[in-house]
Amino acid sequence: MHTIIADGLSKVYDVQKKRPGLSGSLRDLYSPVYEKKVAVKDVSFVIDEGELVGFIGPNGAGKTTTLKMLSGLLYPSGGSVSVIGHDPWKRQYDFLKNISLVMGQKNQLWWDLPAIESFNLAKDIYGISDSSYKKTLNNLVEMLEIGDVLNVQVRKLSLGQRMKAELVAALIHSPKILFLDEPTIGLDVVMQQSMRSFLKQYNQGGDGSIILTSHYMDDVKELCKRVIIIDQGSILYDGLLSEVIAKFSKHKIIEVITPAGTKTHKVLRKQVAEKAAELLKDPGVVDINIKEVEIEDVIRQVFAGK
């Protein structure tokens, strides 16, 4: 079943063009000049029930703008989008109670109150029954291991504890769609791994769809089978993460092992067999390993326009 259908989705902003100098600033004040800035251009994709999809791209690529259109926070300039059968911009109750948006640097919890108070408020807002609320809350708290800080003021929580509490608040109503925008940003390595483990376990335990944006490729590699790569507002790739290397990298790595150490060679794919045979003619070679280029390097080259 399709939970998200985006068809030719676009977003164009009117951005004021600044003129130089004092006179230019005065003219801008009384007769501003605007120019069009394309943030998202003709983006189309379909996401099915239960999928966890990585939505990746460099800064300014259009990731967050797309997520905001899918969640109804922004109105698209063109195209259409359907999320669990709803037009997000209408912000209907049946739509809102089945989605959740978590942004790594945005706080949805009451800062001066214990996290449990925000969870209780969400229970009333979403009309969750006592039994469902208790079961879901206990399950999330156990998986995220934050039972000992539920009654601590949110302002006194560490960043990692707060992000875990943010996830509980976002998932307490069991949404069908979860939008995660940089959920591990600013967290240390241990806490990043803890968050990834939770998200993997949560996704495997239900049929909700998750869209994840992240600058950390470890997040994407560990969680996502499918990725959508976006750059300059347009989709460059939509498919399996495992096939990104084959599509975008023209090279492989040959590691040559000798008694003196290991040396690496970056070789065009079509020349790998020939180069390996040539290297093996050297009597000093103990062994060779043929490897793919690291996914991080491939993605970095894609983002750099190479």
Say what the pTM is.
Answer: 0.82
Report which secondary-structure segment, H or E, holds 131. helix 130-144
Distance CA 216, CA 135 (A): 32
Cβ neighbourhood burial of 298 (10 Å; 0-12, 13-18, 19+): buried
Please report the pLDDT score of residue 204 as a whole number: 86
Residues lower than pLDDT 50 in the chain: none
- Residue 217: the pLDDT is 84
Residues 6+ apart with CB under 8 A from 85: none
Q: Which of 82, 40, 33 is nearest to 57 (CA)?
A: 40
pLDDT at 301: 78
pLDDT at 42: 94
- At 234, list the tokens: 């347009």
pLDDT the model gives residue 105: 65
Q: Would you state the torsion angle of the CA atoms of residues 200, 206, 207, 208, taken in this order, to the nearest 10 degrees?
A: -60
Local structure of 210: helix, strand or coil: strand
Q: Is there a contact between 69 and 9 (Cβ–Cβ < 8 Å)?
A: yes
Domain boundaries defined on the chain: 51-78+85-246, 250-303
Instruction: With beta carbons less than 8 A apart as the criterion, state whether 77 and 8 touch.
Output: no
Question: What is the C-alpha to C-alpha distance for residues 226 and 48, in angstroms, rounded to an integer?
Answer: 11
3-state secondary structure of 80: strand
pLDDT digits (tens, 9 = 90+) for 145-184: 899 999 999 999 998 899 899 999 999 999 999 999 888 8
Q: In what order do the strands lie in the sheet with 209-213?
A: 99-103, 177-181, 209-213, 52-56, 226-231, 234-240
Q: How far is it, in rounded angstroms, from Cα 179 to Cα 191?
A: 20
Domain 51-78+85-246 CATH (choose: 3.40.50.720, 1.10.3720.10, 3.40.50.300, 3.40.50.1240): 3.40.50.300
Q: What is the pLDDT of residues 191-230, one digit of tens each?
A: 888 888 889 888 887 778 999 988 788 888 889 999 999 9
The counts of H helices and E strands in the chain are 11, 12
